[in-house]
A and B are shown apart, each in its own frame.
Chain A
Amino acid sequence: MLEMKNIKKIYRTELIETHALEDFSLHVEAGEFVAIMGPSGSGKTTFLNVAGLLDTFDSGTYLLDNKDVSRLSDSEMSRIRNQNIGFVFQSFNLIPDLNVFDNVDVPLRYRGLSASDRKRRIEGSLDLVGLSSRWKHLPSQLSGGQQQRVAIARVLAGDPKLILADEPTGNLDSLMAREIMDLLDQINSRGTTIIMVTHSPECAARASREVHVLDGKVLDLERPRVAVTRESPTTAGLASSLN
């Protein structure tokens, strides 16, 4: 699914150069749930930005779904982000002016789907995260956990192959964090690859593999935790309702 080799990313200012990623190499199989761990400033978020085609890199190679994405135009990268990648952010990143329905609609708008197709996907994904009755609510009218569920519904509606989650439970209490992790588990069990940056050992423990990053490099401490492929009645329903 994702193959990075010797990725180098340097942030430059007039005075200093910061080597955010230094010979960063990582291989993630399709269907894996990988937790990226490491201290602040270790390069986790930079890795997610590069992996999500939100940022460029200076050298190295990056294959996403067996396609070299090192030198793509902005519109090609946008199309891949829109169709193949879903983002879950720590601070939810919902658009405050838009209600729940319209927030979930945003990536579908850029895909050029018909109104009926978009409606079907939005209603299906809101149903799965248990918020179908809240579709008219603005983000400010929802709790943090509900907002994150809307953000996950936004991802689900797009049916991406890869989900990049940047500390998805970082702003939530433990109960809500568990709900969100359950949801991510379900999504992963239908075959969607998830790469999650987290500081939380509990959350990392839910992943199939942990990858530790320090000073922009992957440490050789990887260990598989659980089997990659799983299927449950819930996730089977999830998959069929979105396809």
Chain B
Amino acid sequence: MLLYNIRIAAKSLRRNPYMTALLLAAIALGICVSTTFTTLRHAFAKDPLPGKSSKVFYVRMDNWDPAQPYPGDDPKSLPPQISYADMRELMKSTIPTRQTALFISRLFITPDPKVAKPYQENVRLAFSDFFTMFDVPFQYGSGWDRKADAKPEAVVVIDDATNKKLFAGANSVGKTLRIDDRVFKVVGVLAPWRPTVRYYDLNGGAVNAPEAIYLPLNFTPLMQIRSGGNSDGWRNYTINSFEEFLKAADIDWIQFWVELPTPEKQQAYRDFIDNYVRDQKKHGRFERPLNNRVTNLMETIGDFKVVLPQLSAMAAVSVLFLAVCSLNLVGLLLGKFLARAPEVSVRRALGASRGQVFLQHIVECEVVGIIGGALGMLLSFGVLKFLTKVLPGSIPIQIDGTMILSAVFLSLVAGFVAGVYPAWRICTMPPAIQLKLQ
């Protein structure tokens, strides 16, 4: 019966192409706007590490001024990063299965003069676990190992664009690259990689692209690498050397992540952090009440407000816009269906129940919803492609399977909302009156 109803719907829609075009255009416009904005929101809100995000944790500790909390709406706000000195202590823990400290810097790259002139590039300083913890994709080689961290070995991982720029896109593993005053051996080349949210560094531009170059973090003291990202501090220091800067226990500029696969490990690590802070309190640090946060990736994305409230509001308004488009069709569909009252009366006389007549007309509305929805999705693909080009940072925003399913669902709902009243009216019309009028 469903196929029969779809056939009747197709005949009905072909009968009046202008009205059909109007119906489809309204649904297409509503679906285009709603899909575009819900996809924008979804791109920032979706889980960037499916299956793993609940095991990867970001560590924060409140080492701020005892006189006032870290600036923020919440009185329990705490600095978003930790100090280099604290990071060194936390790295000693054996509870996490993986852990990495991170910070961003800008260093000079000096390529072969025949290939390119020296230039400054964004460099991510990290430990070896960074690559496996965050599922960083490689096309050649891999990340370095823990031995390379410890020594540290002069190894580097470069991204696809850098590999194309400096090595013509060939497998450059084993080749060398001069960064500042040192020569590094390439051990890995990333595959093209542009997550919508730079989920491993939410503190300094969560929508920025990943960095071009990755170096072992232990080169920080050796090369005196300074952070190119945000730093926070409240205490007045007199710093005369880079070593003193690294030792400044209350200047926060390091992001710190740990992988804790089990609830037991998660609890043990939280206890470890609390005990570390309590111990530091004995040395006159961490004077504020105990306020540590060990949050998994999705909680951290929430804490850093990666999904702007404006984006959520716009997504909600766009769905309301679809509702308005859909409600505007009620009058059109009512006129269309009531004009068909004689045919419906004949069907009723021949044995169609009210339910069957209702279903026939709802199916027609759903056919409009689905076709209009498909057109709307195509439009939305185009709009998002355009937005990707014009938005700063070339943030990739694509309609994924979840958004396609959501658009199909919204199309069906829109069709139903538009058609439920007209379909109810036509199915409750007494057939005898129309038969008499014919």
**Are B438 and A78 touching (Cβ within 8 A)?**
no
**Are A74 and B435 touching (Cβ within 8 A)?**
no
**Are A81 and B349 touching (Cβ within 8 A)?**
yes
Separation of A10 and B432 alpha carbons in the complex (Å) = 14
- Interface residue B356 (Cβ < 8 Å from any Cβ of A): yes
Residues of A within 8 A of B11 (CB): 97-98
**Are A74 and B353 touching (Cβ within 8 A)?**
yes
Segment at the interface with B among A105-113, A183-191, A217-225, A232-240: A105-113
- Name A101-159 residues within 8 Å CB distance of B: 106-107, 109-112, 154, 158
- Interface residue B51 (Cβ < 8 Å from any Cβ of A): no
- Interface residue B283 (Cβ < 8 Å from any Cβ of A): no
Separation of A137 and B344 alpha carbons in the complex (Å) = 21
Residues of A within 8 A of B436 (CB): 45, 49
Contact partner of A106 (CB less than 8 A), chosen from B350, B354, B438, is: B350
Q: Per-position contact with A for B309-330: 1 when CB-CB < 8 Å, else 0?
A: 0000000000000000000000
Task: Name which residue of chain A comes closest to B430, CB basis.
Answer: A55
Residues of A within 8 A of B431 (CB): 54
Dominant SS at the B interface? Answer: helix
Interface size class of B (residues with CB under 8 A): 20 to 34
Separation of A52 and B12 alpha carbons in the complex (Å) = 28
Separation of A54 and B431 alpha carbons in the complex (Å) = 6
**Are B350 and A154 touching (Cβ within 8 A)?**
yes
Residues of A within 8 A of B348 (CB): 54, 78, 81
**Are A110 and B435 touching (Cβ within 8 A)?**
no
Residues of A within 8 A of B347 (CB): 95, 106, 110
B255 to chain A, nearest CB (A): 65
Residues of A within 8 A of B153 (CB): none
Segment at the interface with B among A61-69, A83-91, A205-213: A83-91
Q: Per-position contact with A for B408-437: 1 when CB-CB < 8 Å, else 0?
A: 000000000000000000000011100110
- Interface residue B392 (Cβ < 8 Å from any Cβ of A): no
Task: Name which residue of chain B comes closest to A45, CB basis.
Answer: B436
Separation of A74 and B4 alpha carbons in the complex (Å) = 22
**A87-B349, A95-B346 in contact; A74/B354 too (CB < 8 A)?**
yes
Separation of A89 and B432 alpha carbons in the complex (Å) = 12
Separation of A83 and B11 alpha carbons in the complex (Å) = 27
**Are A55 and B346 touching (Cβ within 8 A)?**
no
**Are A110 and B356 touching (Cβ within 8 A)?**
yes
Separation of A82 and B353 alpha carbons in the complex (Å) = 9
**A49-B435, A74-B354, A75-B355 in contact; A95/B343 too (CB < 8 A)?**
yes
- Name B340-393 residues within 8 Å CB distance of A: 342-343, 346-356
- Interface residue A5 (Cβ < 8 Å from any Cβ of B): no
Separation of A75 and B343 alpha carbons in the complex (Å) = 19
Interface size of A in residues (CB-CB distance below 8 Å): 29
Contact partner of A79 (CB less than 8 A), chosen from B15, B342, B351, B438, is: B351
Separation of A49 and B342 alpha carbons in the complex (Å) = 15
Most buried by A among B352, B353, B430: B353
**Are A109 and B4 touching (Cβ within 8 A)?**
yes
Task: Name which residue of chain A comes closest to B15, CB basis.
Answer: A97
- Interface residue B67 (Cβ < 8 Å from any Cβ of A): no
Residues of B within 8 A of A59 (CB): none
Residues of B within 8 A of A110 (CB): 347, 350-353, 356
**A55-B430, A95-B343, A97-B15 in contact; A111/B435 too (CB < 8 A)?**
no
Separation of A55 and B434 alpha carbons in the complex (Å) = 12
- Interface residue A93 (Cβ < 8 Å from any Cβ of B): yes
- Interface residue B1 (Cβ < 8 Å from any Cβ of A): yes
Contact partner of B346 (CB less than 8 A), chosen from A52, A74, A75, A93, is: A93
A204 to chain B, nearest CB (A): 21
**A55-B430, A93-B346, A97-B11 in contact; A107/B351 too (CB < 8 A)?**
yes
Separation of A112 and B352 alpha carbons in the complex (Å) = 11
Contact partner of A81 (CB less than 8 A), chosen from B343, B351, B430, B435, is: B351
**A45-B436, A93-B438, A109-B4 in contact; A52/B349 too (CB < 8 A)?**
yes
Separation of A81 and B352 alpha carbons in the complex (Å) = 9
**Are B438 and A89 touching (Cβ within 8 A)?**
yes
Residues of A within 8 A of B351 (CB): 78-79, 81-83, 107, 110-111, 158
Residues of B within 8 A of A154 (CB): 350
Task: Name which residue of chain B comes closest to A52, CB basis.
Answer: B349
Separation of A91 and B349 alpha carbons in the complex (Å) = 14
Separation of A98 and B435 alpha carbons in the complex (Å) = 18
The 8 closest A-B pairs by CB, nearest first: A82-B351, A78-B353, A49-B432, A107-B350, A55-B432, A110-B351, A54-B432, A75-B353
- What residues make up the interface of B, taking CB atoms closer than 8 Å to A? 1, 4, 11-12, 15, 342-343, 346-356, 430-432, 435-436, 438
8 more contacts with CB within 8 A, not counting A49-B435, A74-B353, are: A78-B356, A82-B350, A93-B435, A97-B15, A106-B350, A110-B347, A110-B353, A158-B351
